[in-house]
């Protein structure tokens, strides 16, 4: 059974860079059928796709966040990572990692709350 | 403001049917048969319940069904049960650069 697990600091200061990792177990991140993405959900609000990466390193970003987002992949460790720079309180959210094709996001991590505060 | 428009809330009594709409544009919902729906209970990750407009993943109840007409997709839940009370999000593929756009979510209350 495929599992995804987010990890990283739960508190980030304003203007700093948010960094999260997602570890994939029970399957290979190099599977050519899938992409690996990040989605976030501010408290009490809806879902927002942040960006995705293919095992080869090709990246796709939400245009509204593109200038601040970097997603990378480490196939040897079966992990992919998110960096979001110049964070503000508006970036406070539960951050999810997920697997997807073009049809759907079929496996999700449990999510991790990141709070931006001094 | 979300890219896709959903009603903020819907409600129904046990055993009844409800439908949640999801309106997009010709650039997303209207262009692709790639609408998916997710169920989210409080404090939990979203769970895929419908993909490719009307397909159900293995293990999802056949009480959940999806459809699409033009720029609007719909999720119907028949035979409402207490456990169906949750937030529901629609999502559409929007092209290779944008990938995914979500609706703002609909809170389903089972009366």
Q: What is the pLDDT of residues A40-91, one digit of tens each?
A: 999 999 999 999 999 999 999 999 999 999 999 999 999 999 999 999 999 9
Residue the block writes with tokens 């709409």: B21
Please name the residues between 58 and 87 in chain A that touch chain B, using a CB distance below 8 Å. Answer: 60, 62-63
Q: How confident is the model at residue A101 (pLDDT cuts 50, 70, 90)?
A: confident
Arithmetic mean of pLDDT over chain B: 95
pLDDT at A110: 97
For residue B70, pLDDT over 80 is answered with: yes
A96, A39 Cβ separation under 8 angstroms = yes
Pick from B86, B99, B103, B104 the residue to mutate for testing the A interface (most A CBs within 10 Å): B99
User: Does the CB of B37 have a partner CB in chain A at under 8 Å?
Assistant: no
Structure tokens at A98: 């997920």
Calpha distance A85→A94 (Å, rounded) = 16
pLDDT at B97: 78
A49/B52 CB distance under 8 A: no
A52/B45 CB distance under 8 A: no
Report strand pairing: A11-12 vs A112-116: parallel
B38/A47 CB distance under 8 A: yes
Residue B8: CB partners within 8 Å, gap ≥ 6? B104, B105, B106, B107
pLDDT at A49: 94
> What share of chain B has pLDDT > 90, as a percent?
90
Report strand pairing: B9-12 vs B106-110: parallel
Calpha distance B83→B14 (Å, rounded) = 10
The rounded Cα A72 to chain-centroid distance in angstroms is 10
pLDDT at B99: 84
A47/B51 CB distance under 8 A: no
pLDDT at A103: 83
pLDDT at B1: 55
Over residues A86-104, the mean pLDDT reads 95
B51: nearest CB among A48, A104, A108: A104
The rounded Cα B17 to chain-centroid distance in angstroms is 14
- In angstroms, what CA-CA distances link B90 with A42, A43, A89, B28? 17, 18, 26, 12
In B, which residues are within 8 Å of A103 by CB distance? Answer: 34, 36, 51-52, 93
Helices (H) and strands (E) in chain A, counts: 0, 11
Calpha distance B97→A52 (Å, rounded) = 10
Determine the residue of chain A that is closest to B45 in CA distance.
A110
Residue B58: CB partners within 8 Å, gap ≥ 6? none
Q: What is the pLDDT of residues B6-58, one digit of tens each?
A: 999 999 999 999 999 999 999 999 999 999 999 999 999 999 999 999 999 99
Arithmetic mean of pLDDT over chain A: 96
pLDDT at B2: 63
């Amino acid at each position: 059974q495929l599992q995804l697990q987010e990890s990283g600091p739960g508190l980030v200061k304003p203007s700093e860079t948010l960094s999260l990792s997602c570890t994939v177990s029970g399957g290979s991140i190099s599977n050519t059928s899938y992409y690996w993405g990040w989605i976030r959900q501010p408290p009490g609000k809806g879902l927002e796709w942040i960006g995705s990466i293919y095992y080869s390193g090709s990246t796709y970003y939400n245009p509204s966040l593109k200038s601040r987002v970097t997603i990378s992949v480490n196939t040897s460790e079966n992990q992919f990572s998110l960096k979001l720079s110049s964070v503000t309180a508006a970036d406070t959210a539960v951050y999810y990692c997920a697997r997807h094709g073009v049809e759907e996001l079929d496996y999700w991590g449990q999510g991790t709350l990141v709070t931006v505060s001094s | 403001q979300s890219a896709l428009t959903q009603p903020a809330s819907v409600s129904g009594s046990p055993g009844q049917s409800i439908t949640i709409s999801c309106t997009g544009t010709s650039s997303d919902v209207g262009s692709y048969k790639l609408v998916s729906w997710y169920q989210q209970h409080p404090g939990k990750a979203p769970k895929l319940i419908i993909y490719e407009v009307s397909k159900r993943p293995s293990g999802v109840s056949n009480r959940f069904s999806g459809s699409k007409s033009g720029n609007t997709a719909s999720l119907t839940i028949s035979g409402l049960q207490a456990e169906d009370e949750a937030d529901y999000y629609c999502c559409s593929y929007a092209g290779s650069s944008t990938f995914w756009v979500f609706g703002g979510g609909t809170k389903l209350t089972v009366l």
